Amino acid sequence: MDYQVKIENYAGPMDLLLFFIQRDKLNIYDIPIAQITKEFLDYMKMMEMMNIDLGGEFVYMASLLMRIKAKMLLPVSDADVDLVEDPRTPLVQRLLEYQQYKEMGEQLQEKYSEHAVHYPRGQKMAYKKQNGQQNEPLHNITLFTLSFIFQELIHRLPDVNPYELQEDTIHLEEQIAFLKEQISSAKRLHFSTLISDLKTMLRIIVNFMAILEMLRTNQIRVEQEDPFGEIILTGFTS
C-alpha cells in the first residue's frame, strides 16, 4: 500500500495523552506511566500498520514516555525519597498547560462564533442557510475514538492461515467513491452498517484511510450524539 496519510492537522501527542486520561478517568497528577506508555506505543503501531504518518512529535513523545518509565523503575532509598523529583512532574505540568491553552482556545472560538452572527444595525446581513449543520468534520467524537474503533475491528478478525491465499483487491480512490455514493443515498450513513461488510484487515484499513482523507478534505462529517451512541456519517451541504 503506497498511499500515505498525514494527520498532523487532526491531533498531536498531547491530545492523545489527554484522551487516555479522560477516557479512563485517570488522575492527571498520578499518571500510570506504564499503562499510558503501552497504549501510546500500541496506537503508534496501529497507525504505522495503516501507513499513516504521525510525524516526529509522536516519536519524541514515545521516547519521553519510555525514559520516564525507565526512571521510575530506578530504586530510590527511603532517605532520598523526598529529595528526588517525580519523573512524571514535567510531563504533568506540560499536560496541564496544554489543557488550559486548549480550553482557552475553544472558549475564544465559541465567542468568535457567537459574534460572527451579529451585525451592526442597518447593515445588510449575508445569511446562508445551513440546515442546522455546523461546518465541523467531527462532532462529539474525536479522531482517537474513531481510530480505536477500527483497531478493535482488526483485533476481532479471525485468525488467518498464513499459507492460505487471501485475494482481496481494494483501492483507496474506489472506497472514497463508494462512501460518497452510500452517504448520498442514505443521507445519514450509520457506521454500524458500514463496518458490517469489513471482513478483512485490508478493507478495514482502506476504509479508515478513506474516512480520514474525506475528513481532511471536508467531504464528510462524522458525528455521535451520545457517548456510546451510533456514529453517523453525513455529507456537507452546499
- Position 73, amino acid: L
Are residues 41 and 95 located together in one domain of the fold?
yes
Q: In which domain, by residue range, is 187 found? A: 135-157+169-238
How far is Cα 186 from Cα 230, in angstroms, rounded to an integer?
Answer: 15
Are residues 104 and 143 located together in one domain of the fold?
no
Query: In Å, how far from its chain's centre is CA 231?
Result: 14
Instruction: Answer whether residue 13 is part of any domain.
Output: yes
pLDDT in tens, 108-155: 877 766 666 655 665 555 545 444 445 677 877 888 888 888 888 888
| 177 phi and psi angles, rounded to 5 deg | -65, -40
CATH number for the domain spanning 173: value is: 1.10.10.580
Beta strand pairing call for 220-224 and 231-235? antiparallel
Instruction: Answer whether residue 129 is part of any domain.
Output: no
What's the pTM?
A: 0.71
Are residues 92 and 182 located together in one domain of the fold?
no
What does each C-alpha distance from 235 to 50, 92, 127, 133, 180 come to in angstroms? 24, 39, 21, 10, 8
Confidence of residue 164 (pLDDT cuts 50, 70, 90): low
For 98-131, b where at least 16 C-beta lie within 10 A, e where not — what string? Answer: bbeeeeeeeeeeeeeeeeeeeeeeeeeeeeeeee
Please give the pLDDT value at position 8: 46
Q: How many domains does the chain have?
A: 2
Please give the pLDDT value at position 158: 78
